[in-house]
């Protein structure tokens, strides 16, 4: 009886999905010594070096303090570095280090493998449709 109680609850169902998906991504990025949020931030910096912490937070839809903590952790691991922004000495830009750049292909392969595995479980069409709908709901609620 209780399971039906949350059948139409967006919070309950998206949070339950997030926990299941988090386990998949945690296993994928464990060999690199990074968490899924760290890996996604690193991948974004690898794709667009020189972004500010504010830009990274916005693109990842996380708070600036969360972005700061992720960058701090990746900096401690020697994967990212902060540099004074060229346009404003009060701001910092984030760049991958050589060690971070060396992970680029492996992180991309690991991400692709997780995506493929999930698609095999739920079907590619269902996967793509679900991701699209979740993104649309997220955008509408911003």
pLDDT digits (tens, 9 = 90+) for 82-133: 998 777 777 789 999 999 999 999 999 999 999 999 999 999 999 999 999 9
Helix axes 36-47, 64-76, angle to 10 degrees: 90
Q: Looking at residue 82, which CATH number applies to its domain?
A: 1.10.10.10
Q: Tell me whether residue 34 is exposed, middle or buried, using C-beta atoms within 10 angstroms of its C-beta: 0 to 12, 13 to 18, 19 or more.
A: buried
Q: Which domain holds residue 64?
A: 2-141
Helix (H) or strand (E) holding 81: strand 80-84
Domain total in the chain: 1
Q: Would you say 12 and 2 are in contact if contact means Cβ atoms under 8 Å apart?
A: no
DSSP 8-state assignment for residue 48: S
Q: Tell me whether residue 26 is exposed, middle or buried, using C-beta atoms within 10 angstroms of its C-beta: 0 to 12, 13 to 18, 19 or more.
A: middle
First-last CA distance in the chain? 33
Helix (H) or strand (E) holding 75: helix 64-76
pLDDT per residue as tens digits for the range 43-76 = 999 999 999 999 999 999 999 999 999 999 999 9
Helix (H) or strand (E) holding 83: strand 80-84
Q: Does the pTM exceed 0.85? A: yes
């Amino acid at each position: 009886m209780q399971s039906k109680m949350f059948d139409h609850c967006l919070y309950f169902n998206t949070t339950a999905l997030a926990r299941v998906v988090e386990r998949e991504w945690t296993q994928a990025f464990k060999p690199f010594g990074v968490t899924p949020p760290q890996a996604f931030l690193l991948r974004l910096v690898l794709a667009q070096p020189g972004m500010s912490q504010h830009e990274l937070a916005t693109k990842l839809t996380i708070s600036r303090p969360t972005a700061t903590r992720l960058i701090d952790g990746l900096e401690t691991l020697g994967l990212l570095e902060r540099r004074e922004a060229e346009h404003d000495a009060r701001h910092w830009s984030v760049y991958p280090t050589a060690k971070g750049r060396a992970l680029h292909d492996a992180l991309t392969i690991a991400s692709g493998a997780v995506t493929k595995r999930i698609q095999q479980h739920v079907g590619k069409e269902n996967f793509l449709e679900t991701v699209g709908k979740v993104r649309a709901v997220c955008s509408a609620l911003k």
